[in-house]
Chains A and B, each alone.
Chain A
């Protein structure tokens, strides 16, 4: 898994609560990504980072923010969780913008 960990692995929260998911990598990869995966939609990019403090929006960024203060950590924050954000969230890393990506084990988030 290219030394990628995600925490927590499972979380149940209530609507309106802020939630932060963490991705940690030990590979010193420049690029990091957050995806969500839902039945019928496949993997959809939320946000990505191309370096420390450099981030950009993906296809489904509304309601999410990210931060990257260190090469190894990429945080995804749901400012005020909604039931539509119930999903499986995957972090990925890569050495170049559009080539091979290495995925973490995922975080299952349930928003009640």
Chain B
């Protein structure tokens, strides 16, 4: 089965800087990969989906890259704000559904 690795340690950055989160996976390369945001006490919310034939995808201050050779996706938030503080999960196709990583907590300080 697919195994997903996200940095378990929280990422602390200053407001205005670019946050970069990593998602590594093993085994087969998925046809696409997704990123979700989860705030404390709430369900995950979909942010972006990138397909295997797309190297990069952007949405406002968010950018996702997908390197099928390295089996890695990078998730960037530019000009980060305290409101970006949350846990970010990557997810990719597993058996019949998505498999989620454990997530990385991002803390943006003013």
The judgment on whether A and B are partners is: yes
Interface residues of A (CB under 8 A from B): 1, 4, 31, 33, 35, 40-43, 45, 48, 56, 58, 90, 92, 97-106
Whether A97 contacts B43 by the Cβ 8 Å rule is no
Query: Closest Cβ of chain A: how far from B74's Cβ, in Å?
Result: 19
Cβ of B103 and Cβ of A100 under 8 Å apart? no
Inside 8 A of B42's CB, which chain A residues have their CB? 105-106
Q: Are A42 and B89 closer than 8 Å at their CB atoms?
A: yes
Q: Given A40-B102, A42-B103, A48-B96, verify A100-B43 contact (CB < 8 Å).
A: no
Q: Which positions 38-95 of chain B face chain A at CB distance < 8 Å?
A: 41-46, 49, 89, 91, 93-94
Nearest to B4 among chain A residues (CB) is A42
Q: Which of B41, B94, B98, B101 has the most CB of A within 10 A?
A: B98
Q: Given A41-B102, A92-B43, A97 and B49 touching (CB < 8 A)?
A: no
Partner of A42, one of B41, B46, B93, B102: B102
Q: With A98-B93, A100-B34, A106-B41 in contact, do A43 and B46 touch (Cβ < 8 Å)?
A: no
In the complex, what residues of B have CB within 8 A of residue A56's CB? 96
From B92, which residue of chain A is reached at the shortest CB distance?
Answer: A98
| Chain A to chain B contacts (Cβ below 8 Å), 18 pairs | A41-B102, A42-B100, A42-B103, A48-B96, A48-B97, A56-B96, A92-B43, A97-B96, A97-B97, A98-B96, A98-B97, A99-B32, A99-B49, A100-B34, A101-B44, A101-B98, A103-B44, A106-B41
CB distance B100 to A43 under 8 Å?
Answer: yes
Q: Chain B: which residue is nearest A90 at the CB level?
A: B43
Known: A97-B97, A100-B46, A105-B43. 18 other contacts (CB 8 A): A1-B43, A42-B102, A42-B103, A43-B44, A43-B89, A48-B96, A58-B97, A90-B43, A92-B43, A99-B34, A99-B49, A100-B34, A101-B44, A101-B98, A103-B44, A105-B42, A106-B41, A106-B42
